[in-house]
Every structure is written in C-alpha cells, then in structure tokens.
Amino acid sequence: MAFFLNSFGVIDETLKPREPQIFLALPNRKIIGKLNHFIYKPNHIINFGSLNEIEFRMPYDIEDTLEHKLIRNPYIDKILERFLLKLVLDDVEEWYVINNINDDVDEQSDIKKVHAYSLGFELADKLIREYKEVVSLWQVANELVSDTLWTVGKIDDKFTLKYRNFDVSETTALEFLDTISTTFGTLIEYDTVNRKIHFRDPDKLNKYDGLIIGYGKYLKTLDKTSTSDEMVTRMYVYGK
C-alpha cells in the first residue's frame, strides 16, 4: 500500500497504490517478457542505504482464461539464477539480479519462490584479499570497483577531504562497500541503470519537502529497518 502524507501528516488511505511493472531479462539486459500476469504475491522491499529486494511466487501452471483450463506457465522454465529483473514504476527504472530460486511442491500446488537483490549485488562476485591503506573516499571507492562493471558516481562535498584507515582481508567488494559507508558515515545510492555508486550525506536527506512514501520511494510501508548487514545466509530445510 502507498501512503500519501499532506503537510499536516494526515494519511490519505483512499488512494490506490501504483503497482510496479516487472520484466524478466537475460544477463545482457535483453528483455524476455513481462511477468506481472504470471506471478503472484510480489514483494518490493526498499532498504534505505542498502540493496533493495524483490521476491515473488511463480506457479508452474496458470489458467487459460479462453479455454478455461490449466496450462504450463510460459516463464517457469525461463527464469534462472543470475538472470535480471527490470522494475518500472512511472519514470523510475531499477534493475535486479536473481540470486535465489526455490521449488515449493506439495499436493495442492507447484510453485517457484524467486528472490532478487538490486544490481549492486554483482559486487559480491569480486573478492578483496587484503587492503591496508589510509585513503580518501574517492580513492578507496574507485579501487573497490576496479575490474568490475561499476563506477563511482557523485560524492557529496562533506566527504571529499576526509581520510580513513582500512585494514581489511578476505571480504567481497559488496561487504567492503558497507564498511566504507559506515567508516565515512555516508549513505550509498545504487544507480542500477548506469551501474554507478553514489555516496550521499545522510543529513541532506532528512529535510522535509512534502515527501511521498510509496513504491519507488524511500519506504514501502511505515516500518523502518536499520541494519549494517543486509547480506545473510538462508537455510531451507525440507522433508520429514
């Protein structure tokens, strides 16, 4: 549900939420097709300053409304790990990479559970074995994204003259990026369309300008979660 706040902080719950459009794409961003009519229970999770997430369920069989019978979902065999999802809401576009697919089969239905992180998850593929330097934010960020598809975007003026000491070993570039953000006190903004990482001043984002809270904005609901470790290990146990 999207909530719209007026200047007095009153929530207008009569307005309908705008649903994001979700497209399946190959790793090279070539669109395979639109998924909205072939999935259900989509959940778009906005994590402020960290990787956003999408999760949904995809049935193996769907109803053919013309012949009134069940047919195989045309996308059930096309959706694979490392494939991309394109989310579009109005003029906002964001890319995600599928990182987890689970089959959930029982007597009533057969479905796939799909989870994807925003495209910055690609940085988890780069391993940093050792980094011991006293550096500026610009220097360490550029060294972090070297040999990747990502580049450093805007860095707020507050951080340009600051230097910090790092002593890191055996970590991924994505985990190191969280360390950099915490050390300098920045908020990370991922531009998944252009594969750019921006470092923002949190103080500049607290100013009230008639904020609209909804899909594609800073929060999806009125719950706020703050965590320094969005990347977790999940274990799914099946059977008796």
Average of pLDDT values for 73-101?
A: 95
What is the tens place of the pLDDT at every residue in 149-169? 999 999 999 999 999 999 988
As a whole number of angstroms, the distance between CA 159 and CA 162 comes to: 5
Confidence of residue 13 (pLDDT cuts 50, 70, 90): low
Q: Which residues pair with 94 in a beta bridge?
A: 87
Does residue 219 have a pLDDT over 70? Answer: no
As a whole number of angstroms, the distance between CA 199 and CA 159 comes to: 9
Confidence of residue 107 (pLDDT cuts 50, 70, 90): low
Collapsing DSSP states into helix, strand and coil, what is residue 178?
A: helix
Average of pLDDT values for 12-39?
A: 86
pLDDT, the chain, mean: 82
Half-sphere exposure of 169 toward its Cβ, with a 13 Å CA cutoff?
Answer: 0
As a whole number of angstroms, the distance between CA 119 and CA 52 comes to: 9
Does residue 109 have a pLDDT over 80? Answer: no
Average of pLDDT values for 25-29?
A: 96
DSSP symbol at 42: E
As a whole number of angstroms, the distance between CA 154 and CA 68 comes to: 53
Does residue 218 have a pLDDT over 70? Answer: no
**What is the gyration radius of the CA atoms in the chain, in angstroms?**
20
Confidence of residue 26 (pLDDT cuts 50, 70, 90): very high
Which of 9-13, 61-65, 189-193, 223-227 reaches the highest mean pLDDT? 189-193
| Token pair of 67 as six digits | 């012949």
